[in-house]
Amino acid sequence: MQHNWWRWLLGIGLILVVFIPSLAWMQHRVTHYKSNYKTPLNPTIMVPGSSASQNRFDALISELRKETKVGHSVLKVKVATNGQVSYTGTIRRGDNQPFIVIAFENNQDGYTNINKQAQWLNIAFRDLVKTYHFNHFSALGHSNGGLILSLFLEKYFSETKHVNIDRLMTIATPYNMESDSTTTRTAILKELIAGRQQLPKKLTVYSVAGTENYSSDGTVPANSVNQGKYVFQNQVAHYTQITVTGDNTTHSDLPQNKQIVLLIRQYLLQEELPAKERANNRAGIVRRSITGEAGLP
């Protein structure tokens, strides 16, 4: 009887020796799979600038639908000042690259309002992830919409676990507000620089500026757009500044500018453009990749 007891104990010990490492290995594999798995649904989230509604990107979306020959679904989201989220439109079944436009009841300019809008963006984003179950996306922000997205990524994005942002494109985003200075920093630029270490490390960022007269798009100084390098460089995987010149480069025209539409197709939607279109687009833009250059300490 005593010998049987020892046999049972030895058997249990051997089982544990085999089972525990196997369980740990399985848990590691499951964690690895979850962290690397990407859902087929990969929306592009668009955030308009101040005073713009959820219809701000209608012309851009029509152009993208025409150029890509893909009928991207459009879901429009509006966040009220009390945090209530309302939806217009639907994501069509089988459409893995829908456009989601997020706008705000209080869409006014100003440092305080832009920070509130980043909070409201977080409310909408969490609701979207809960409803549609995607775990990666790209984003597009025009003007102050780029500031809202940048603040959201620094301050709130980490609250939503197991979701990654692949690419961010900001168009005419005034990182230093209306200032044309390259030495004086506004409150919002200081805040973005202070929080830049919270940015997703695998993110690819494209900052697009339009120049009507090589110094401004008529509203936002080119120097203000370019101050974004102090926020993103050496913090994200890739950061590229792009300057668009030529026709339709005024501030309000930029989202539907033909060259920018091509940039969105190539970089955000990851479309393989024909060589002729790529060549034509290169003629009107200046591209500067500054990832890894010396920035702020």
- List, for residues 85-115, the tens digit of each pLDDT value: 999 999 999 999 999 999 999 999 999 999 9
pLDDT band at 27 (very low <50, low <70, confident <90, very high): low
Rounded to whole angstroms, the Cα distance separating 231 from 190 reads 9
Phi and psi at 84, nearest 5°, equal -70, 135
8 A C-beta contact, residue 104 and residue 113: no
Amino acid making up residue 214: Y
Rounded to 5 degrees, what angle do the CA atoms 243, 42, 88 make? 90
Residue 216 confidence (pLDDT) = 80
Tell me if residue 195 falls in helix, strand or coil: coil
pLDDT band at 285 (very low <50, low <70, confident <90, very high): low
Rounded to whole angstroms, the Cα distance separating 30 from 185 reads 46
Rounded to whole angstroms, the Cα distance separating 244 from 209 reads 6
State yes or no: pLDDT of 280 exceeds 70: no
Helical segments of 144-221, H only: 144-155, 187-194
Residue 127 confidence (pLDDT) = 98
Percent of the chain clearing pLDDT 70 (strictly above): 80
Q: Which helix (H) or strand (E) holds 169?
A: strand 164-171
State yes or no: pLDDT of 165 exceeds 90: yes
- Cα torsion through 52, 267, 234, 224, rounded to 10: -40
pLDDT band at 292 (very low <50, low <70, confident <90, very high): very low
State yes or no: pLDDT of 281 exceeds 90: no
Rounded to whole angstroms, the Cα distance separating 173 from 182 reads 15
Rounded to whole angstroms, the Cα distance separating 239 from 22 reads 42
Residue 245 confidence (pLDDT) = 85
pTM, entire model: 0.85
Rounded to whole angstroms, the Cα distance separating 9 from 155 reads 54
First to last CA, the chain: 73
8 A C-beta contact, residue 138 and residue 45: yes
> What is the rounded radius of gyration, in angstroms, for the C-alpha atoms of the chain?
23
- Cα torsion through 35, 38, 42, 47, rounded to 10: 10
How far CA 201 is from CA of 229, 234, 239, 257, in Å, comes to: 15, 9, 11, 30
Q: What is the pLDDT of residues 40-80, one digit of tens each?
A: 999 999 999 999 999 999 999 999 998 887 889 999 999 99
Q: Which CATH architecture has domain 45-289?
A: 3-Layer(aba) Sandwich (3.40)
pLDDT band at 219 (very low <50, low <70, confident <90, very high): confident
- Where do the domains of the chain lie? 45-289
State yes or no: pLDDT of 81 exceeds 90: yes
Average pLDDT, the chain: 87
Residue 30 confidence (pLDDT) = 47
294's CB contacts (< 8 A; 6+ apart) are none
